[in-house]
Amino acid sequence: MKKILLAASLLLAFANAARYLGESDADELDDILVLSRPVPRDASDLRVIEEAVKRVATKVVPCTVGVQVGNNHGSGVVITETGYVLTAAHVTDRPGRNATIRFPDGTTVRGKTLGMHTEADGALIKITDEGTWPHVSVVTVDDYPYPKPGDWCVATGHPGGFDEGRTPPVRFGRIIDVNETVIRTDCTINSGDSGGPLFDMQGRVIGIHSRIAEQSTINLHGPVLAFQESWRPMRDGEVYPPVPESRFLDKLDIDRDGKITRAELPEGTYQELYDRLAEKFELEDETAYTIRELKGLMGWRHVPPSFEIRAYDSERSSGHALATKRFVRGREVRTAFEPLVENAHKSIVEVRCNDERVALGTVIEGRIVTKASQLRDNITCKTHDGRILSAQVEHTDTIYDIAFLTLDEKLDPISLAAEEDVPLGSWVITPALSGRPISIGVSSVLSREIEGTPGVLGVAIDITQTQAVVVNVFPESGAAQAGIQVDDVITRMMSTEVSSLDEVRAVLESFRPGEVVNATVLRDGKSVEVEIRLGAREDVFLDDERFGSGRLNGKLSLRRDDFPDVIQHDSVLRPEDCGGPVTDLSGNVVGINIARADRVATYALPVSVVRDVLKKFQSDAP
């Protein structure tokens, strides 16, 4: 029976391949079969998947746009040459609003919001400026059986908001579950991605990014197939499904005939509510009033629908969700990568401070390269065979946040790749001390500079006083750990006297998260000296949406910006996983992980940067 089912599956895969590719050659059909497998078998399968992702990335990135409607910022995708843009309903909010569309090449155009699909969180915008625009196609009902659990998928968008210094980051994953209004994937998205596109491996739009939950594998998208019956109403500026004349009055229409009478209402709250309306607007008990009539009597105007970002409804799932072990970073998928990194563990160490793991380290030319800002006192390194070796800091490069450690013993150095770019969509693998992958991902953005942002103390200062009086201390902050208290008066930062919030900010402008600053505070008439380790805004102000996705980001590296050159990839790591190598499918090291930056991004220093820093240190060393 299993053989019959397997044969049927192969026939179906070939039939689908023929439909998608037309007169395809045997190699292309083989590629379709690889993409149809439950999990990749080996490196050859992984290369087929990689090439498919790279093709999709090249095709879709130019069509992924930033969207601004009023104060709402999000993403979108152009789906016609004439400029129809698909985005999220909660980004546009209602039809008829002015919109600004930003293309990755910097082109900015104007648009107008059209209709919406409120249940699947989709909306249309029409570019009103003249021109023809790069675009991609959307999946249709004729393309069945896509999408379905287990399919590979690619996400683009503008996480964190539109950034002129980068292209829309590429992320890769699998469809986990599908129902009529939601696609769930492990293709990570974040704040700012809302309205951005989810693609199948043919480069067709299959979903629109809608919302996330704390787990990195809960990324929810509105299915494009849900919009099929509403394309025309959405194009014509209508809200679909139709919004009732009045959401309040619609709840009183118990028998759903479009009219309301007292007799149809259940006793209790409903009848009491109706009686109050009847008294105020002189309604007759026996008369049936249409919702429109009542709305007119009350003088209510049309209020656009509000969009409640609902949690994933497992009761409405497809019933055959993808098993966890087959997620893109699941156990069965990672097994295919193990032979590619099985020898790297001999050149990796676990860096420990005060007997606690703080980072990984990579053996390069007799030294351990690791993440400098993670280091504390009593540094040791644990090797792949369990030995604990004492380590000393030989050199620190604050620009790139890397440190070179020396050990009493020599370990096998790792092989660095040739100095070349990592193309968008290329697999990257982070090996562990065990010889297995910690995580896998794809290259999301080509190497670029990451601008720095000042660190924060983690206090609120009263701006109405002539002194820098602390009125709140945030619990997740360096100020809290340093013992700063409410009513403390900050009188000095480093060597500068301060007396206001602006003066405190001016001193901190040149200091980054993770750095330690000295401060003097006046407490109960006495001066107290403290050392405060600065934090990142989004870590300290977790519940303030202005500074990112807060707790949805997970645990991030304290120092995660102000790098002159990094590769961004979508591997999901912990801060203590940084400092280790990143390899390609050939097993060559293409970078050193330097920061877990947010929910969708890990940064790695290119091997060219590591080589340059090492050469400079060696030339400057006595």
CA distance 167 to 587: 27
Least confident of 134-148, 205-219, 328-342, 373-387: 134-148
Mean pLDDT over 562-578 rounds to 96
- For residues 62 and 275, which has the higher predicted lDDT (pLDDT)? 62
Mean pLDDT over 576-588 rounds to 94
For residue 267, pLDDT beyond 70: yes
Find the DSSP H helices in 119-268: 231-235, 247-250
Of the candidates 160, 51, 156, the residue with the CA atom closest to the CA atom of residue 104: 156
The two structure tokens encoding residue 299: 């003088």
Least confident of 131-135, 245-249, 314-318: 314-318
What does the pLDDT look like over 65-99, one tens digit per residue? 999 999 999 999 999 999 999 999 999 999 999 99
Least confident of 136-150, 170-184, 445-459: 136-150
What are the beta bridge partners of residue 588? none
CA distance 228 to 142: 11
HEC letters along 195-257:
CCEEECCCCCEEEEEEEECCCCCCEEEEEHHHHHHHHHHHHCCCEECCCCCCHHHHCCCCCCC
Compute the radius of gyration of the chain from its Cα atoms: 28
Least confident of 29-38, 132-141, 321-330, 384-393: 29-38
For residue 306, pLDDT beyond 60: no
Confidence of residue 508 (pLDDT cuts 50, 70, 90): very high
Residues of the chain above pLDDT 70, percent: 89
The pLDDT score that the predictor gives to residue 4 is 43
Crossing angle of helices 2-21 and 26-36, in 10° steps, is 130
What does the pLDDT look like over 583-614, one tens digit per residue? 999 989 999 999 999 999 999 999 999 999 98
The pLDDT score that the predictor gives to residue 22 is 46
What does the pLDDT look like over 325-375, one tens digit per residue? 999 999 999 999 999 998 898 999 999 999 999 999 999 988 999 999 999
Of the candidates 184, 166, 153, 206, the residue with the CA atom closest to the CA atom of residue 66: 166
The two structure tokens encoding residue 138: 């959307």
Mean pLDDT over 506-521 rounds to 92
For residue 308, pLDDT beyond 60: no
What does the pLDDT look like over 535-555, one tens digit per residue? 988 888 876 656 666 677 889
The pLDDT score that the predictor gives to residue 56 is 97
The pLDDT score that the predictor gives to residue 325 is 96
Confidence of residue 298 (pLDDT cuts 50, 70, 90): confident
Least confident of 17-26, 43-52, 230-239: 17-26
Strand spans (E) along 233-301: 239-240, 259-260, 289-290
Mean pLDDT over 193-206 rounds to 96
The pLDDT score that the predictor gives to residue 362 is 96
Residues of the chain above pLDDT 90, percent: 66
Confidence of residue 619 (pLDDT cuts 50, 70, 90): confident
CA distance 134 to 137: 11
Mean pLDDT in the chain?
Answer: 88
The pLDDT score that the predictor gives to residue 302 is 45
φ, ψ of residue 332 to 5 degrees: the values are -70, -35
CA distance 418 to 438: 23
For residue 252, pLDDT beyond 70: yes
Confidence of residue 11 (pLDDT cuts 50, 70, 90): very low
- Tokens 């509510």 -> residue: 273
Domains of the chain, each with CATH number or no CATH? 2-60 (no CATH), 61-235 (2.40.10.120), 247-298 (no CATH), 337-450+557-620 (2.40.10.120), 459-535 (2.30.42.10)
